[in-house]
Amino acid sequence: MSGQGIQNKKLYVCRNCKRGFLYSETEAQNKLCRNCLTQTLVLQKRRTIFVCSTCNRHYDSSNIINLDIPKDKRPAFNLGSLICNRDETPLIIRSLKEDIGQLTRNFYGKFDQDKESEISQEREFLEKLQQLRSEDVDYEKDILSSVAPLDEAGALSGDYFNRKSTWWYGEKFDTPHANEFWRHYFIERKIYDPANFLGNGKRVLKIKELLDEVNLYLLNPDKLNPGYPVVDHLDNGKIYYVGDTHGSIFDLDQCIKFFVNEIEKALRNDYPVLIIFAGDYVDRNEMDIHNLLYLFSFALQFPQHVRLLRGNHEEVTINMQYGFWDNINKYLPNSYLFNDFEYTFMNLPLTHVAHTPKGSVMTLHGGVPFYPENYETLPKTPRIVDGTVVLKPSYSTVDEMDVLSRQILWGDPEDRMPPNMYYLPSRRGVGYSFGREVFEEFMKVNEIHRIIRSHEVFLDGHKEYFDNRLFSLFSSSSYGSREIEAKILELDLSKEWDSNWRYITILDGLDV
């Protein structure tokens, strides 16, 4: 279809089969869908997302007739029908509005917020959610076929995991919108009012523009596959690890001020610094939207230093229950902005591996993955460190993910596993609690020496498992009514391996 032909047409969607079409007014005047042959064609006036059901590639409706957008970012066409430019699968509209509305009418607000354990809330919510879904998901029966082998994952050069870094960055990006947000939060200190957004009346547009920059420069699915680990090779320098922040922008601000100083010091003295965030940026805090925007602007200011991973709270159903969606509706009443955020979450990688002369360190949010079979049998372990097994996490809901991705986001270590048990179903309702033997097998198969994770709340801000080979971090000091000594973790490669790990309390231990 020519550029002139595209510009003379409009976007239509079939209410029955959800397919997208580009028609002239004449072609659409009888409202007949050429796919399902029903007169249910309507003009799509609002911005939306179309998705390919085969490869899960997403297309923004605002880019369909924008000829300034590269051709490979726009869908192809077949007799007016929108099709994926990769595999020619017809595109369907991805509207979360109906799912969200149905879930809200049935469940939202019915949970007892005064329950002693937020874990029991998560379990109850997920159980009811699974009952709602017509699709029966059996976590126990997920098998190897749910995870893509390397030869199906796409073209990877032989030296991909031997690069200095697989995080996609080069020269300083042209990110005018991220620069605006950076100035708003870091320079002008606008971090105290949940209703104070950059742009005021244009706040929604500003946020969309920032997310566009994040998805173009940091999380571009054509450059960074979330199914692979992000890999960095360091000969010296420092690595900082940050656990759950859950909207605690004041903790994040203290961290960012400290990290900026450390980056500047490293640049003066010519050594590398990495900062790895282990997920759970939103929910449980009224400032969670600002926390996320501040973090994104920081990551775009220092792309060679900052790595972002996905947590279990970067997911649609959890966001609807624990505050993020509610805050968007309260402060940014735009139904499709929630979709934009969730699309960005889908592009976040699940794991990071730092290879150093003294050992390799993996970061993930929850637990180590394995193939569940029998609780009394040591399960098989995937080698994910080099893409031998490729995860499939790029979905908006946990139900759609493969079994390994779910475990990485939801799993927990357990240092007191019952006798003769290697793992048990998680008390959270998704994933598993795993014991020492499962952990040791994963470390051996993947040739990893330490794992850093978050996902659990500790009043001291941290806990060690399995002879100090697994460190668990929590980096939010404002978490409900609890007083938590939120921590970050420093790895200093100039020191001996066993003494180079240092916890730093965020609110009184950071030199800012």
**Domain membership flag for residue 262:** yes
CA–CA distance, 394 with 350 (Å, rounded to integer): 10
Domains in the chain, number = 2
Structural domain includes residue 406 = yes
Concatenated DSSP letters for 91-158?
EEE---HHHHHHHHHHTTT-S-TT-S-HHHHHHHHHHHHHHH-SS---GGG--GGGSEEGGGS----T
Whole-model pTM: value is: 0.74
Instruction: Characterize the bridge pairing of strands 470-473 and 450-453.
Output: parallel
Domain assignment present for 172: yes
- Which backbone phi and psi does 146 adopt, to 5 degrees? -85, -5
Tell me if 113 is assigned to some domain. Answer: no
**What CA–CA distance (Å, rounded) separates 275 from 169?**
15
Query: Does residue 391 sit in the same domain as residue 488?
Result: yes
Residue 435 to residues 299, 376, 438, 469, Cα–Cα distance (Å): 35, 11, 6, 13
Q: Are residues 268 and 371 in the same domain?
A: yes
In tens digits, the chain (512 residues) has pLDDT values of 545 566 678 888 888 888 888 888 888 888 888 888 888 888 887 767 788 877 767 777 777 766 666 776 778 888 788 888 887 888 888 654 444 334 434 433 333 343 345 666 666 666 655 555 433 334 334 333 444 343 344 445 557 788 888 887 655 678 999 999 999 999 999 998 999 999 888 999 999 999 999 999 999 888 889 999 999 999 999 999 999 999 999 999 999 999 999 999 999 999 999 999 999 999 999 999 999 999 999 999 999 999 999 999 999 999 999 999 999 999 998 657 999 999 999 999 999 999 999 999 999 999 999 999 888 899 999 999 999 999 999 998 888 999 999 999 999 999 888 888 899 998 888 889 999 999 999 999 999 999 999 999 999 999 999 999 999 999 999 887 778 999 999 999 998 888 789 999 988 777 76
What is the three-class DSSP state of 169? Answer: coil
Per the listing, tokens 């360091």 go with: 234
Please indicate, yes or no, whether residues 149 and 73 belong to a single structural domain of this protein: no
Q: What CATH number does the domain containing 497 carry?
A: 3.60.21.10
Q: Are residues 85 and 149 in the same domain?
A: no
Q: Assess if residue 133 is contained within a domain.
A: no
Residues 409 and 496 in one domain: yes
DSSP state of 307: E
Distance CA 314, CA 247 (A): 12
Domain assignment present for residue 352? The answer is: yes
> How many alpha carbons lie under 13 Å from residue 28 in its C-beta half-sphere?
20
Distance (Å, rounded) from C-alpha 405 to C-alpha 401?
6
| Calpha distance 189→80 (Å, rounded) | 49
> What's the domain range around 12?
3-93
Question: Which residue has tokens 């960055």?
Answer: 169
